[in-house]
């Protein structure tokens, strides 16, 4: 079954056509990679899935729900979570607090600032957040302020903040960008592990080698258009892909 279906999506910024008739279908329970050179339109496409951008034309369906024009928090409540290209975390708060906030938001339908004082006394929220930190290997750092984390750990924290909301669809924009080789490998391992939960994942990547060990299917975006699709092995040697990267 298709969990996400993108049909005929166009998006222009002034005279620049960032997305040009994009069609894409993501099967439930799979890891679907969208790769392409810098400026191909990957982030723009992802922004159309999460309510940050509205396409000029076309449709984006999440199951039976149209995501076009829905507010970001509604899309999130529907079961779509996103890990951003630049980690969006609460820098001044501890790791535990960072994870408790979305945990509470998920349970209560919202997180109001005045609820912050109650966070520490809420055993259910505390335990769920703690388990999540253990899952991503950050439990020992629970009382550290998020700002002091390495780039890789910030990513892991952000992933925990998404996963704790039990999303049906997880969108990851360049999850290993700027990471050391060791952090990259750790992140790939972590993404493989969370695959066991049956969450559908869309992984955006500039570095095509990162996704080959993860993806069930790959769509290659170049100059705003899907130029080829298939299993990683199929697209690896495709001359159109080589050309897109060399030309990009």
Name the minimum Å distance from CB 222 to ligand ADP: 9
13 binds ligand ADP (CB under 6 A): yes
Number of residues that bind ligand ADP (CB under 6 A): 11
Name the minimum Å distance from CB 85 to ligand ADP: 8
Contact 47, 53 (CB under 8 A): yes
Q: Please say which residue, 4 or 204, places its beta carbon nearer to ligand ADP.
A: 204
29 to 68: interface string for Mg ion, x by CB under 5 A: -------------xx-------------------------
Name the minimum Å distance from CB 55 to Mg ion: 17
Residue 155's binding partner among Mg ion, ligand ADP, none (Cβ under 5 to 8 angstroms by kind) is: none
Residue 36's binding partner among Mg ion, ligand ADP, none (Cβ under 5 to 8 angstroms by kind) is: ligand ADP
23 binds Mg ion (CB under 5 A): no
Q: Please say which residue, 35 or 215, places its beta carbon nearer to Mg ion.
A: 35
Residue 13's binding partner among ligand ADP, Mg ion, none (Cβ under 5 to 8 angstroms by kind) is: ligand ADP
Q: Which of 3, 6, 9, 18 binds ligand ADP (CB under 6 A)?
A: 18
Q: Please say which residue, 18 or 162, places its beta carbon nearer to ligand ADP.
A: 18
SS3 per-residue string spanning the chain: CEEEEEEEEEEEECCEEEEEEEEEEEECCCEEEEECCCCCCHHHHHHHHCCCCCCCEEEEEECCEECCCCCHHHHHHHCEEEECCCCCCCCCCEHHHHHHHHHHHHHHCCCCHHHHHHHHHCHHHHHHHHHHHHHCCCHHHCCCEHHHCCHHHHHHHHHHHHHCCCCCEEEEECCCCCCCHHHHHHHHHHHHHHHHHCCEEEEEECCHHHHHCCCCEEEEEECCEEEEEECHHHHHCCHHHHHHHHHC
29 to 68: interface string for ligand ADP, x by CB under 6 A: -------x-xxxxxxx------------------------
Q: Which residues are near Mg ion by CB under 5 A?
A: 42-43
């Amino acid at each position: 079954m298709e969990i996400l279906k993108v049909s005929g999506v166009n998006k222009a910024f002034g005279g620049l056509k960032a997305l040009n008739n994009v069609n894409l279908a993501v099967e439930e329970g799979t890891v679907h990679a969208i790769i392409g050179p810098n400026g191909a339109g990957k982030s723009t496409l992802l922004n159309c899935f999460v309510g940050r951008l509205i396409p000029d034309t076309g449709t984006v369906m999440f199951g039976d729900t149209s995501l076009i024009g829905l507010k970001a928090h509604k899309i999130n409540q529907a079961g779509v979570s996103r890990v951003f290209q630049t980690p969006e975390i609460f820098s001044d708060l501890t790791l535990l607090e960072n994870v408790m906030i979305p945990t509470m938001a998920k349970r209560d339908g919202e997180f109001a600032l005045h609820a912050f004082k109650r966070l520490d006394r809420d055993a259910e929220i505390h335990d769920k957040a703690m388990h999540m930190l253990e899952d991503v290997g950050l439990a020992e750092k629970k009382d550290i302020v998020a700002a002091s984390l390495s780039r890789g750990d910030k990513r892991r924290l952000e992933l925990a903040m998404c996963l704790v909301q039990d999303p049906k669809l997880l969108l990851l924009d360049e999850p290993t960008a700027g990471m050391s080789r060791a952090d990259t490998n750790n992140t790939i391992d972590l993404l493989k592990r969370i695959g066991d939960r049956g969450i559908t994942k869309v992984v955006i990547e500039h570095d095509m080698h990162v996704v080959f060990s993860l993806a069930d299917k790959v769509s290659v975006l170049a100059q705003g258009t899907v130029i080829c699709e298939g299993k990683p092995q199929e697209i690896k040697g495709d001359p159109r892909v080589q050309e897109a990267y060399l030309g990009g």
